[in-house]
Structure 1
Amino acid sequence: MTSQKIAVIPGDGIGTEVVSAAREVLDAGCAKHGVTLEYTEFDWSCRRYEEQGAMMPPDGLERLRGFDAIFLGAVGWPGVPDHVSLWGLLIPIRRTFRQYVNLRPIRVFDGVQSPLRGAEHVDFVVVRENVEGEYSEVGGRVNRGFPDEAAIQESIFTRVGVSRIADFAFDLAASRRGYVTSATKSNGIVHTLPFWDEVVAERAAQHPDVRFDSEHIDALAAKFVLQPERFDVVVGSNLFGDILSDLAAAVAGSIGIAPSANLDPTKQHPSMFEPVHGSAPDIAGQGVANPVGAVWSAALMLEHLGHAAAAADVVAAMEATLAKPETRTADLGGTAKTADVTAAMVAHLR
């Protein structure tokens, strides 16, 4: 089989640690199924920004274009503002490569204690619109330094953008339990969210076998806590999907196990896979980071690349380690180190 090319960006903090761990597990899973991956590592990070004034080189995006996928650890470090690190690396990658789907699976695994009572059967997916919405580049600031200084940020919702994310959500739900919930706030945001509702409803009509409802974001956030087991696929705008997916990860027991995929479903461009826990400077270098979020992200990458059996085995290795107290990290109430959890997953795969 021809090898598939993976661009690896470990990034900052625990990103370097969990990427190394995930690659060990990924290689074990690939070896079992005869899958060949070829890695190229890039040192693009906040450290690079401090040394050279940019998160990545001017031709960085062009360098990434020929890869089959991108595997990212984390970006962010004290001293470098978050908007600098994100807009200098992560967001340009998402937008240049039309990664309009941000996919966040949420599960409560056996052995993982949710902070909520009765949440043992939670298994849903947040589908976040990833390239427009509230996170547009349109806007600016006027009268800087004066008492009447003002900032304006425009939200951009297009029919194409809302339609394609809705279609992705409905297609995904059709392969799961057949239920989509759309996040909105059309009772308070007078233009963009009624438009979102209209377009999502139009797309729902094209998927009659999928049950559909719409929830205002405030009520939906409450139901994530009170009734998380009711959801199957939740679709939301860039901002709403961002907030809901982190809330959902907390419901699942730890943000340390939460994965994400930034997808171009057309596969015309490379998609990017990353855990959502961030660079966690407070624990970086201590060997205690939870590698499960990165490993699950690697499994999503395998599935996207067409290796469903290998992906399923990697997830099974995760499940086996999470089920045992001795192979759970401190964020899950255990005492295992990153290396312990990694070794257990590799052993399971072999």
Structure 2
Amino acid sequence: MTDLSGIPTTIIPPEESKGRSLFQLAVIRFRRNYAAMAGCVVLLLITLFSFFGPYVISHKYDEVFPSYVNVPPSLEPLPRADTLGDVMKGVADRARVELREFAVDGNTFTATIHADKAIDPRSTRYFDRANEFDNTQVTATEEDGKTLKLTGDVKREYFLFGTDQNGRDLMARVMLGGQISLTIGCLASLVSLFIGVIYGAISGYLGGRVDNVMMRLIEILYSLPFVFLVVVLVVFFGRSFILIFLVIGAVEWLDMARIVRGQTLALKRREFIGAAQALGLTDWQIIRRHIIPNTIGPVVIFVTVVVPKVILLESFLSFLGLGVQEPLTSWGALISAGADKMQSSPWYLIFPAIFFVVTLFSLNFIGDGLRDALDPKDR
């Protein structure tokens, strides 16, 4: 198509000329931040590892392997072939029989045991109780039952992260710790977000005596010892998983309220707030429709800092005996336990610390990306 001057023109379809919303522009800016996107991917992988990993591995977080206590990380299956003979001899001694022959062919073993009197076939239970052997059966009986020929399976176990002082798979423990730490971090942050945003917005918008009273209340709560508050709540309500994130969320909302109040004090003098007041909107309508949505940017960024802080607080409570208790665990509890064994068994500390530090960096990168996307003028 050409205009009157003969210059060809292009007609843009309505759907192509449609403008983008502020949310769409923020999403585009966030996607262009490679560090933030990498943080999202890493955080997603850690979440999948923690919540879906237990369905992949065969070990449970509370399963004890007495034969594999303080085993360092390894890609090789256990037990090793050169140690099976000593293990079988030890089992035979516990069964009060003599081990005459022992051989291993792949994942199958054969053994010959002897005693001065007839051996009870039920003694094979001693072999199945060991972590190394399973499905032990009597294949032949000689010398009126004084000699038995046995066969069974050699159980191969993988401990990629090693085991702890109780013989539990550290990988399964790290997965469980990730479930509890991430859950407490997210739930406690949501509790602090819900209370702090509403409280701070109301305090900052109403101002005057209401603001003064509400801020003095926050200062009083700041003065209360955190541990004392936790002890009182535990005494009244008992120790539970839900109580942990409720207590932490009930403390963390104080910082959130002060941040939202500062943002609200700056927003209440803007022109669009005056226009809303002129239109006859109530105070709650203005807070809900205009104040809170315009504070979401700083709030979301602050949440990415609160989550790792909450995880550290949970580990502090677990260290005092007020948080997660055995056989449950968390990254913080694992790090606290690993610090005591750092010299003799460094893998106790290394693996949970790696997951915690990587999660911390991922959340920081995501927070920086959200800051740049929601308020690009601050870059």
Using the size of structure 1 for normalisation, the TM-score is: 0.24
Bigger-Rg structure (1/2)? 2
The structure with the greater share of residues assigned to strand is 1
* Highest RCO, 1 vs 2 (Cα 8 Å, sep ≥ 6): 1
